[in-house]
Each structure stands twice: as structure tokens, then as C-alpha cells.
Structure 1
């Protein structure tokens, strides 16, 4: 992680006696969903400071947590960083979320004291470590199996719905759908780990009641999943020959789009039915994970409130893809039941993705991160 942000980290590294003391680093618009480039610059600045400074502060300037993803990544960075930062400022509304999610310990922050959390409902940080991994002293949670985590997330989403006016709840079908979708994401994370079939993952989520300046109340939900294993492009390029041939054609067709082959391969891999696993007839199987996520988030979060439309961001290596208006989810067309999203106006595989939703990042994030935000209200029918 740190080497990805600062490739010359070993060269930059200074002895403690040769370092400048003090300095303020700021994290503002700290969100992969809303501002991925600025967020990566903030993370890089922290990684650089760890090489060159001592007694520096990190100030979080946002009024709200608008994305869990950057905080998870920063927590993983802090595990590997020397303890050279000496505090910083955090808005009280951010403090509530960090405490509820147990992110404060993960980020190595001092205690905030007693924090009221009456308007925040959390699914606390949960982590799976591969066999033989060592545990760090600052972890406030234990490794969890995929089934337990999937059940826990489904139960928490249901509890969030029960807080609405009027209260709502998931149907048995809705609960099963969440369990299956989360299970597929986490099983993929384990399969795609750097050690074959034994990858790490970390996840967490929360719902917060937000009242805007106009007095409109919304219940905003966040979920994030991250694994530090292989990227989507690395994984799919080791898939069946039939899939690799399709990807090669797609990449060749859009070679002048300005997007890297890895990012184009990632877009292709998100479509229904694209998988690295073969069936008995040599054809790919599965491959519905992210489209299931998009479908569920769009069904639950279809609020007619400006600025509260569902959003999902995927980061894998240097590839960044965002499900957002007008490309919110997969679309079924023609005689196929496959959900497809090519991120262009015509949803056409022959046309390149829009640069508003698909970009190459300046830095590579090891593995794959999926982070989402959606708002819910009492009109939800239980899916």
C-alpha cells in the first residue's frame, strides 16, 4: 500500500534525527466516491510525511463521513507506518462514525471520550486474515467467516430499515439476496488473494440520519469491502480462453480511448456472465457479483431527493469505475438475461466508456475496493 503511493519510499526515508518536525496535513472531500483523485493525493501526502517528518498532524476537515473507503485504506496504511503523527482535528459528526465503526482504534487515534451515537447505526469493522497472518495489537475485533459476516450485514441493513418512519424490513428474498451478494464478494476476495485461495478482506458499514438545511431528513447508508489481493484485471486475465479472447477484442477496439488495457478489462469483467471460473463445457460461470450489488443498491436507494442517488465506486489497481447517474446499474436488453453496463449513452459495447465514470488513477491500489452510498426511506417495499 505505502509503496504503491510512494514508489521511492526507501530513497525518501530519513532518520528521525534528520526529519523536519511538525506540519499539518489535511484530508478534505475524503471520498473515493466523490473525489478519488484528491483523496489519493491526501493519502499520498500522509505516506510521504511518514518518510520525511515527525510530530505531524492530520486534520480531517469534512463535516460528515461521505465514504468509508478512504478510512479503511488509511487504517491499513497506519498498520505499516511508524507512529510519527501526533493527533489532528476531526469534526464531531465524523467522530461519531469513527467510534461506531471502531475505526478510531484502527486509525490509531486517541480516545474521543464519550460520544453520543443516537443517529448512527453501524456494522462495525470486520476483518478476515489469511491463515498464518499475525494480529496487531490495535485490532478491536476478531477475524470472521464469510457466512457470519454476510448474515451480519443482512441483519444490519434490515435493522436500518426498521428505524424508518414507517418502519420497513427486508423480505426473506431480500435477506437471502444480500447474504448471497455479500458472500460472493467476500469469497471472491479470498480466492483472489496474493496467496492462492487465501486472501484477506475487511468490511464495514453504517447508516446515519441526516437533516439538511432545508429540514429534509434522509437516512444515508454506507458499505465498503476491500481486499489487498490481485486486481480484477489480473484475475480475469487468468480466466478461460473464451473470456480472454472477448477481453482482447474489447481492449483492441477501444485502444484509442485513453484508458489502459487493465481498466478496459475491468469494465468488461463487471458484466454479467464474465468469470474466471469455467463450467464443465469450458464456458465461464457466475460473474454476477457487482451487478447484484448495483441492482440491490438501486432498488433500496431509489429516493427522489436531489443529491441522494445511489453511488458505487470500484477501485482495482489503477482502475476506477463509478456506478452513478446515468449509469446506475446493469441493463437487460435483447434476448439475453445478462445485465450489461458499458458506461456510455447507448450502453453499447462498441463504444468506449465515458471518462466521467471510468478513469485510470495516478496510483495503484493493491487489490480491489468496492464502496457504496445510498439513502433509504419508508417507501421501500422489502425487495
Structure 2
């Protein structure tokens, strides 16, 4: 062990004790840790004194020398103990102390050389000021590149910082998809983030959809809501809590394909959630059995596609889904804003089309060669092709005409529930997949059966709605960062006036 050091610094081998002691002195419930740290510190100082004293001698002159050594040892150990106790070391929790690099497909692509640059916790430098990330306009619907940049900053700090704050600076939750991705990467990160700003409306949504609990966030304003304390729910938030399939490639059952599926339970709950949205007093509608079956089919198809196509050479991919509706007062009227998000981690749409049937692959190649240009790469154009009906990598589904319809069905659902075109309330869908982004809103929000009522739906994001013309650059574009998977984020507004008019029309027809 080292005993001599540069002034103002601790020996390297005692720095661990200093960190343990700083942790023991901080936070509630630290009494046990304080006791253990004190015992460790005293034991180490006792060993230090023994070494400084040396071997005792019996001769008188040597005894005097021994007493001098003893005084020196006690003085030296007291100074060392005082230095350790006053040392400004970062607070290191037990979970953080045990943190190791964990693979995250999303973070590993957003952060360059994440594994190589990931610094062990005890080797990280402590700073006088706390580093932070501010999540402002945190929304794939509004700013997909900005959302990815925010996630990248979070990943960079996770690699090198000993402690940081995470500030949620939006007034409201602007997008379910952004928080779904944050929940996806959270378990693979070291727990360096502690504290930060978050407004009450955001806290209530994160509490309702379960992201706060999943990420171990202290949502004091939300939990303190009297309505939540009484009923376990917020009066102005209706949520489909975060649900995810188990990690990809982890099925162990030999009968996995005939057992009740997680996605089947998820679709049932999703239908119940939409029914709750429609059942608020201002709207007072409910889904018919046919409507429930239709929505269940749409959600089930999306989740099934994630399982079948997100992982190469397997049908055991994963997915995560969440949704919520919030009631807000805007310009003196109640507005019901709905958000849905569906996430799969792994291959992008463009990557999954690489092993599509030859006729699909040929069409993709022809389309991309014709329209490739700066800002719209071959992978982005291939992603737009994947949006069209009947474009699927599954040859059996293509032969039966039953595959490749999931995304168009989502657009139909959104257009049916939120048809308003009032600025700021119109339906929007953003698809982020690999290197590509497709932002859909009026006039590009719903597919068109151009060749007849049973023809495949197409949406080419141009005025002609034709594959002969390039897509709108504002709607179809390359991302600045690669997203390792596919996110479908949805937003629309339930308009009580629309449903009231629809009800009057039904009554008149009776």
C-alpha cells in the first residue's frame, strides 16, 4: 500500500475507501453503509499504523525510537482518515458500483464505439458541476433527428460520467414513441442519471404508462395527485401501460407457436383502452364487436410482423407498445390528444426486404434506381416501398394476398378516429426505421385504392400518388443517425363535435 502522496491527493489504493465513505455519508437509509464504511476505514488505518511502527524492540534506545514511530503512525493515520472523510468524491450507489457495459442495439449505433469508450465507474473523473441532458421538443413526430440526437447525448454521458441530471423540459408529452425508446434503452445503461426537471403533466403521463416505474423515476407530483391516490388513476390521462415481449431469441418452449401469445393479450387490452377513450362523457361512444375485431387485427398484425421480421433467420423478434390519451384545456375548450407507439429492435424495413421474393426485390431496385438522390438514399426509398400494401418478404403471405397491409391499416385507423384537419390537431404518423424516416400527415396520411375497391392501397407521398414520381423530400428523408429497429409513432385528436355529428347522422338515418 502507498503511504506518501502528492499534497491534496489520496493514494490510489485508498480512493475506493473514499468513494465508499462519500456514499455512506449521503442519502436516506445510509446508516448501514456508513457503519460498514467506518469499519473498513478504521481497519485500513490500523494496518497502516502497524506497518509504520515496524517490529518492536526491547532495548531502551530502541524503545524510545519505537514510541516516536508510534506517534508518527498515529499522526499519519489521523491525517489520512481526515483526508478521506473530507474527500469530495462522487456518490456511488451499490447499483452504480456494480455497473458494467451492457449491449444495447439502439445505443450501440447511436454512440460511436460505445463498448470501447465505456469507462468503468471507479475510473470516471468527478467534476465540480453536474453534467446534464435537456430533452426539449423530445418527439419523433416533430423532430426525429433531434430526438435521436438527445438519445445519443444520453448514451455518451452514460459511457463516461459518474453522475448526471436528465431534464424533461417540454410542457407536455409530445410523443409516446420518444419515451418508449427511452424505456427500451434504460435497462442497458449505468444508473448515472439522478434528478432533473420534469413538469407535472409529463410526470402524470409517464406514471400512467408505466415508464416512470420502469425507469425508476421519482414522479412525486404525479404520485401526489389526489385522484391517483384515491383511484390509482389520473382523471385526465387514459393509458395503455408499457407492454413488451420478452427479449428476442429467448423462447425456450417447444410449443411457443401454439401457446397463448403475449401479443394476443396485448391486442385485447389495446381494444379496451381505445374503448375507454371513446367512452369519456364528452364523446360517449363505444366500439362494436366488429370494431374491436378490426382494431385487434391491426395491432396483432403489427406485433406479429415485429416478431417475424425484426430478427434475421428467426421469427422470434421482440416488440414494445404503449399508448395514452390526455385531456387538455386549449383556448377554453377540452381537447383529447391521443398517442400510440410501436417499437421493434433489430432489422429495419429496408434490411428485411433484402431477402424478399425476387419480384418484390426487383420492384424495390427499379424504384430506388429511378428516384435516388441526395437526402433520399436507397434504404429510405425502400422503406417507402415497404409502406405499400402487398409488399412483404413472406412469400406465402404474398401468394395469399394477406401480407404487407399492417401499416396501411394503421393509417386507416388513425384517419377514422382522428379525421380533423384543424391545424395543430390533425393526425400524424412518423415511421423511423434504420437510416430512414417517413413523416405522414395531410395530404399524405391515408393510402388510396387507385385501381378499384379491392386493389392494394398505395401512398407514394407525392401529388400524383404514383411510383413514377419521386416522393416529397419533407415527408421522406434520410436520418442523420442510424436507428437500430423500427418505431411507428402515432398522434391524433378525438373530436367530440365530429362524433356528435356522426351520431346525429345515424339518428337521422333511423
Report the TM-score when normalising by structure 2.
0.70
Q: 2:182 aligns with which of 65, 74, 83?
A: 74
Q: Does 1:239 align with 2:356?
A: yes
Higher relative contact order (Cα pairs below 8 Å, separated by 6+ residues): 1
Q: Which residue of 1 aligns with 2:334?
A: 217
Is structure 2 residue 422 aligned with structure 1 residue 305? Answer: yes
How many Å separate the matches in 2 of 1:120 and 1:144?
A: 28
Give the conservation status (yes or no) of the 8 Å contact 1:128–1:144. no
The answer to whether the 8 Å contact 1:227/1:367 transfers is yes
Q: Work out which of the residue numbers 94, 115, 118 in structure 2 matches 1:10.
A: 115
> Equivalent residue of 2:332, what SS?
coil
- 1:32 is the counterpart of 2:149: no
Residues 126-164 of structure 1, C-alpha deviations (whole Å, 9 max, x = no match): 111147749xxxxxxxx9711111111111101110004
> Secondary structure of 2:482's match?
strand
- How far apart are the structure 1 equivalents of 2:398 and 2:342? 32
Which has the higher Rg, Structure 1 or Structure 2?
2
Structure 1 residue 14: Cα displacement: 2.9
Q: Is 1:357 matched with 2:463?
A: no
Following superposition, the deviation at residue 173 of structure 1 comes to: 2.3
Distance in 2 of aligned mates of 1:40 and 1:157: 29
CA deviation vs aligned residue, 1:312-340 (integer Å, no higher than 9, x gap): 11111111111112211111213462211
In the other structure, the counterpart of 2:448 is 331
Provide the C-alpha distance between the structure 2 equivalents of 1:279 and 1:61, rounded to a whole number of angstroms.
Answer: 48
1:94 to 202, 213, 232: 202
Q: 1:37 to 1:130 in 2, by over 3 A?
A: closer
- What displacement does 1:111 show? 4.4
In structure 2, what is the Cα distance between the partners aligned to 1:169 and 1:304?
23
Q: Which one of 147, 150, 165 corresponds to residue 267 of structure 2?
A: 150
Structure 2: tracts of 5 or more residues without a match:
1-105, 229-233, 252-259
2:434–2:483: 8 Å Cα contact kept in structure 1? yes
User: Which sits farther off after the overlay, 252-261 or 273-282?
Assistant: 273-282
CA contact (8 A) 2:245 2:319 kept: yes
8 Å contact kept, 1:274–1:285: no
Distance 1:43 1:361, change over 3 A: same
1:369 aligns with 2:487: yes
Q: CA deviation at 1:310?
A: 0.5
Q: Which residue is equivalent to 2:319?
A: 201
- What number of residue pairs does the alignment pair up? 374
What is the deviation of 1:246? 0.6
Q: CA RMSD in A?
A: 2.2
Asked if the contact 1:128–1:200 (Cα under 8 Å) also holds between the matched residues in 2, the reply is yes
**Structure 2: distance between partners of 1:287 and 1:153:** 21
Query: Structure 1: which 5+ runs fail to align?
Result: 135-142
- Give the direction of change, closer, same or farther, for the CA distance of 1:89–1:190 in structure 2 (3 Å limit): same
Alignment match, 1:106: 214
What is the CA distance between 1:285 and its match in structure 2? 4.3
Structure 1 residues 44-92: Cα deviation after superposition (integer angstroms, max 9, x where no partner)? 1111111121211010000110101111111222111111111211110
Question: Alignment partner of 1:58: what SS?
Answer: strand
Asked whether the equivalents of residues 340 and 490 of structure 2 are also in contact (C-alpha less than 8 Å), the reply is yes
**How far apart in 2 are the matches of 1:310 and 1:226?**
19
Distance (whole Å) between structure 1 residues aligned to residue 381 and residue 110 of structure 2? 22
Residues 299 and 95 of structure 1: CA distance in aligned 2, closer, same or farther (over 3 Å): same
- Of the three residues 267, 290, 296, the one matched with 2:384 is 267
* 2:173 counterpart of 1:65: yes
Contact 1:323–1:357 under 8 Å retained in 2: yes
In structure 2, what is the Cα distance between the partners aligned to 1:253 and 1:285? 28
Matched-pair contact (CA < 8 Å) for 2:397–2:403: no
Cα 1:124/1:337, change in 2 over 3 Å: same
| SS of equivalent residue, structure 2 residue 424 | coil
